[in-house]
Amino acid sequence: MLYALVLIPLVGALLAWVIPDNRTRPLVLPVIALAHLVLTLLLLWHAPPPSANGWIWLDPLGKLVLLCISVLFSICAFYAVGYLAYRQERSNRVLCMGLLVCLAAMGLVTVSQHLGLLWVALETTTVAMAPLIYFNKNARSIEATWKYLLICSVGIALALLGLLFLAYSTYVAQRDATLLLSSLMATARGLNQGWLHAAVIFLLVGYGSKMGLAPLHTWKPDAYGEAPGMVGAMLAGGLVNCAFLAILRVYQVCLASGSSELLFFQRALVGMGLLSMAFAAVFMAKQADFKRMLAYSSVEHVGILAIGLGLGKGALFGALFHLLNNGLTKGVLFLASGNIHRSYGAKTTDIVKGAMTRLPWSGGLFMAGFIAITGSPPFAPFISEYTIVSSAFAEGDYLVAGAFLLFLAIVFIGMALTVLPMVMGTPSDTTPPTGYRDSVLMVGPPLVTMLIILVLGVWPPAALLGLLKEGVALLGVQP
């Protein structure tokens, strides 16, 4: 059944390739997305045992990422039908295929228990996303695609080197070289420390650049800024979480090694996390391009994820919950911003003013997404961010907690300075009207997501909390 997770989207990609009509082709997306979502829920309900060689297994961490990806993809798929109806001037074959191949690869990431296989799947997502960033086919999107492709490819190549170092550390310790997570963890105490250290550094740099942790985030504003809204949503909520899952796997190995390596990895994560938040805080202020602003918000939130993981203990729950919350909220923001971009034909705040008047639904959703992502109650990101901060205070990391709160405050102000005039201001009369009107297909999906985020914040379902606790147990120190 786990194989269907990869096969269903691939069949969909094949269908998208075969269907000649530009209007009917996008319909493949919601059909496949619904099948994928049903399958995901079935797998969450009753996960099959690990495969015979131990390569394929859906553990609680994988389940969490898979849930986020599947829900986000379904939302984007319905949105895509509406969006692509507006973009009939160009072929959407590559876009549909790329999204589906990427979904297949992301599914493979979540079920991989072999770090080599995980790497291959992650690299596939990198390549599959490149043509999607380039959908608009203009000079700016070419530049963004080139930067994304080169930086992420080099980054992920360094992660491969890190994996080879990891395998070598098992080899030097006079065992068979292996990259299977279960055997790595079983033998982790005997790993050669020097090679393990080198491996951890390279893996952090490699997966960190894919995830967009500062100072390796430079491709992010360009790629997110130029990609269509739903591609931005999949990048910020899908790929980021896949890369974070890879980092979680490294964390598991460090944890099992029972050495000082874990402490080093945690400190590095906290350091990079704080740096990411600082970068985001600086560049978010006075950001005129609202899609680039969302990219910096993504840099900020991968920073929060890294800090949560680096702090460990109680913050782990917050980090895992935030993975889901950030993914979904970014989905709302990118889809709503895509609508606003469509309506004004521009994405800078000197032209886009008073979106609430012109597009009550999309403008309102963007506003709600802004309130949620900056960590205001009653939305779910508030709970996850609060958990991380309160855990930092409880553990006595006052410096980290203080800096965290400070950066959150600066980001809130910086983001508000862009978002408020854009949504609440009075629209200028000079902006020519475009053909775009808010429609059910383009407003419904982000609206549903927003409701999910609200429900998660007010009344998180017990099943989800159970899953989060199982995930935390995998990352907690074993006695």
Q: Which residues bind another protein (CB under 8 A)?
A: 114, 116-117, 119-120, 123-124, 126-127, 130-131, 134, 137-140, 142-147, 149-150, 153-154, 157, 160-161, 164, 167-168, 170-172, 176-179, 192, 194-195, 221-222, 225-226, 283, 288
Q: CB of 293: closest distance to another protein in angstroms?
A: 11
**Which residue is associated with the tokens 């090694």?**
257
Q: Which two tokens stand for residue 57?
A: 């297994």
Q: CB of 403: closest distance to another protein in angstroms?
A: 23
CB 159 within 8 A of CB 207: yes
Q: CB of 147: closest distance to another protein in angstroms?
A: 7
Is 114 or 358 the residue whose CB approaches another protein more closely?
114
CA distance 411 to 388: 17
Is 127 or 346 the residue whose CB approaches another protein more closely?
127
Q: Which amino acid is at 202?
A: F
- Grouping H, G, I as helix, E, B as strand and the rest as coil, residue 259 is coil
Is 143 or 420 the residue whose CB approaches another protein more closely?
143
Q: Which amino acid is at 208?
A: G
Q: CB of 228: closest distance to another protein in angstroms?
A: 16
279 vs 38, 408, 415, CA distance in Å? 39, 12, 13
Q: Give the length of the chain.
A: 479
Q: Which two tokens stand for residue 228?
A: 């269509």
129 vs 146, 173, 234, 336, 365, CA distance in Å? 12, 39, 9, 21, 26
Q: CB of 415: closest distance to another protein in angstroms?
A: 16
Is 192 or 376 the residue whose CB approaches another protein more closely?
192
Is 56 or 356 the residue whose CB approaches another protein more closely?
56
CA distance 309 to 292: 26
Closest CA to 238 of 349, 347, 107, 94: 107
Q: CB of 286: closest distance to another protein in angstroms?
A: 9
Q: CB of 263: closest distance to another protein in angstroms?
A: 21
Cis bond upstream, residue 48 (ω within 30): no
Q: CB of 225: closest distance to another protein in angstroms?
A: 7
What does residue 41 show for φ and ψ, rounded to 5 degrees?
-65, -40
Q: CB of 416: closest distance to another protein in angstroms?
A: 19
Is 226 or 438 the residue whose CB approaches another protein more closely?
226
CA distance 111 to 129: 20
Is 162 or 238 the residue whose CB approaches another protein more closely?
162
Residues with Cβ within 8 Å of 332's Cβ and at least 6 positions away in sequence, in order, are 365, 368, 369, 372, 446, 449, 450, 453
151 vs 157, 208, 434, CA distance in Å? 10, 11, 36
Q: CB of 62: closest distance to another protein in angstroms?
A: 18
Cβ neighbours, 10 Å, residue 37: 18
322 vs 308, 318, 416, CA distance in Å? 9, 6, 21
**Crossing angle for the helix pair 60-86 and 93-111, to the nearest 10 degrees:** 170
Is 6 or 452 the residue whose CB approaches another protein more closely?
6
Is 166 or 262 the residue whose CB approaches another protein more closely?
166
Is 157 or 454 the residue whose CB approaches another protein more closely?
157
